[in-house]
A and B are shown apart, each in its own frame.
Chain A
């Protein structure tokens, strides 16, 4: 993430009259980091959470629950990519998944 000052420097480098698409207040925000929680026994392997996660954090695991469904897991290498957007929780019909920000 860049500070407002860094953005100003970059603008100068690009030259006057060039519009950069960097919002002027990016420095005020930090990207949330969250951990994903699942309740494996509730999952029915509908595919929604891993299909609609906008950051492509999730995938189907090899493990199955008592009903024979594969529940989700975090993709290898994506452990720090969940931004707590809440999409997986919202789209899950089973109350089987949610994310919570890492304190």
Chain B
């Protein structure tokens, strides 16, 4: 008698290629990020959103700035752009206006987008430029060794705030929503499925689509603030995150204090004319009247 073949999962199988390798540049791995850094998780979520997206791969563009998250573009097998510090949104705006058919995603850090390039962020949100912007927030300047910045929680310790930060940080989703963005979300590196789903939605949204992803940075932020191991910050996100899509955004600042909750969700998803739509209307109107008046 032939015994029926039993299906078995078996032990781990060692291979050379990953199912996501078609969208990344596997020859550049391992990446430069520290063990447990959340940036790689965000890149994975972006890659899977691209694999699911009906938008042709050659229309997907990734733009990043400087810093740890600035390295993202270099690992993607897409047309990508590694720009100057803080200016990722400025470059992206130019590209989005010149080539509206492209699906442009800016992935950059909190220091890059929210502080050094803070004005580009609020004005792109105000104009509602049709872009996707993912801000990986690690609460400090990680690449340069851990200085405090505009997103470092009050009281947090870094190399440049060894007795505790005396500055109140930006509450970035509140800021971007107030400036006028069509879509505003916040998730954490622990909420991988929600991050992927939000990126898919951001690709559909017309107008400025913004997501903050809180991310563990074990060696330069976690180490001095009670989260030295990669798992510490991930477990904090897991235990303390409260999903509230209708949260009052004025009260959702992040403290990283172990007792304080972290409010996450897709907070804003509204219809507002995008900059490109208004610009297209203007062009149509002016050319209908035979060009600009002399």
Nearest-neighbour CB distance to chain B for A59, whole angstroms, equals 10
Say whether A79 contacts B30, CB under 8 Å: no
Nearest-neighbour CB distance to chain A for B44, whole angstroms, equals 6
A3-49 at interface with B (beta carbon < 8 Å) = 33-42, 44-48
Say whether A79 contacts B9, CB under 8 Å: yes
Nearest-neighbour CB distance to chain A for B27, whole angstroms, equals 12
A39 to B12, CA, bound (A): 10
Name the residue among B9, B24, B44, B234 with the largest chain A CB count within 10 angstroms. Answer: B9
| Chain A: CB-nearest residue to B45 | A90
| Chain B: CB-nearest residue to A87 | B192
Nearest-neighbour CB distance to chain B for A89, whole angstroms, equals 7
Chain B hits for A54, CB < 8 A: none
Q: Which of A33, A47, A51, A98 contacts B9, CB < 8 Å?
A: A33
Chain A hits for B39, CB < 8 A: 93
Partner-contacting stretch, out of B15-23, B137-145, B177-185, B245-253 = B15-23
Main secondary structure of the interface of B (DSSP, over half): loop
**Cβ-based interface call for B14 (8 A):** yes
Chain A hits for B21, CB < 8 A: 95
A93 to B192, CA, bound (A): 11
A69 to B48, CA, bound (A): 26
Say whether A95 contacts B44, CB under 8 Å: yes
Given the interface pairs A94-B29, A102-B9, the reply to whether A46 lies near B35 with Cβ below 8 Å is yes
Say whether A93 contacts B19, CB under 8 Å: no
| Chain B: CB-nearest residue to A61 | B12
Other contacts beyond A38-B14, A46-B36: 5, CB < 8 A: A38-B13, A42-B29, A44-B34, A67-B30, A93-B44
Contact with A along B114-148 (1 / 0, CB 8 A): 00000000000000000000000000000000000
Say whether B9 contacts A45, CB under 8 Å: no
Chain B hits for A39, CB < 8 A: 14-18
Interface size of B in residues (CB-CB distance below 8 Å): 41
The 10 A-B residue pairs whose C-beta atoms are closest, nearest first, are: A93-B40, A44-B35, A46-B36, A90-B192, A95-B18, A46-B230, A46-B35, A73-B12, A74-B12, A93-B41
Given the interface pairs A48-B231, A98-B19, the reply to whether A93 lies near B36 with Cβ below 8 Å is yes
Q: Which residues of A contact B (CB under 8 A)?
A: 33-42, 44-48, 51-52, 61, 67, 69, 72-74, 79-82, 87, 89-96, 98, 100, 102
**Cβ-based interface call for B8 (8 A):** yes
| Chain A: CB-nearest residue to B41 | A93
Q: Which of A33, A41, A87, A95 contacts B20, CB < 8 Å?
A: A95
A98 to B16, CA, bound (A): 12
Say whether B20 contacts A80, CB under 8 Å: no
Say whether B24 contacts A44, CB under 8 Å: no
Q: Which of B7, B9, B26 contacts A95, CB < 8 Å?
A: B26
Contact with A along B222-262 (1 / 0, CB 8 A): 00000001110010000000000000000000000000000
Nearest-neighbour CB distance to chain A for B263, whole angstroms, equals 21
**Cβ-based interface call for B38 (8 A):** yes
Nearest-neighbour CB distance to chain A for B100, whole angstroms, equals 31
Say whether B30 contacts A91, CB under 8 Å: no
Say whether B9 contacts A74, CB under 8 Å: yes
Say whether B231 contacts A47, CB under 8 Å: yes
Q: Which of A35, A44, A81, A87 contacts B36, CB < 8 Å?
A: A44
Chain A hits for B4, CB < 8 A: none
Say whether B9 contacts A80, CB under 8 Å: yes
Given the interface pairs A91-B41, A92-B44, the reply to whether A36 lies near B9 with Cβ below 8 Å is yes
A72 to B12, CA, bound (A): 8
Q: Which of B12, B15, B36, B45 contacts A48, CB < 8 Å?
A: B36
Say whether A89 contacts B36, CB under 8 Å: no
